[in-house]
Structure 1
């Protein structure tokens, strides 16, 4: 049995909000105000942007984790850039 690496077998997909008009983040208000999971998105509030179909919960979690890691990296890069600009500013102010 060969095992495929997670990074190779899983690619980033576009997600979009569930298109069902009564879906509010994965929940649908039923009769008498009861809440139930949306059947269109399996209660997750997100569907595949290309097909409009619900993804398995595990796949949605992976997709969200991928986005989280990308944003975390961007924040780290922005902090480094901010620190570099601060050092430059301090050097400029000392040179006056």
Structure 2
């Protein structure tokens, strides 16, 4: 029997025969599983609540700054300084000479 014949129609693994008990399983003392942590302590639950809280908040926008930039662009007073932009990009990403 090839390994491919054990894969079920939806990608799950199908057991080819009955499960076998290993001798060490019967000799080991049975232990009770630890109780599951509360839902509030799970990282996924915390992240879900945090994402819902953030989604309900409006994006942080400085409306006055946007209005000033729109006015400057419309009036032709907004200047682009490529050297300053390039310097800021290098500072942000590192100068590469490390």
Q: TM-score range by the shorter chain?
A: under 0.3
TM score, norm. by length of structure 2? 0.27
Structure in which a larger fraction of residues adopt helix? 2
TM score, norm. by length of structure 1? 0.27
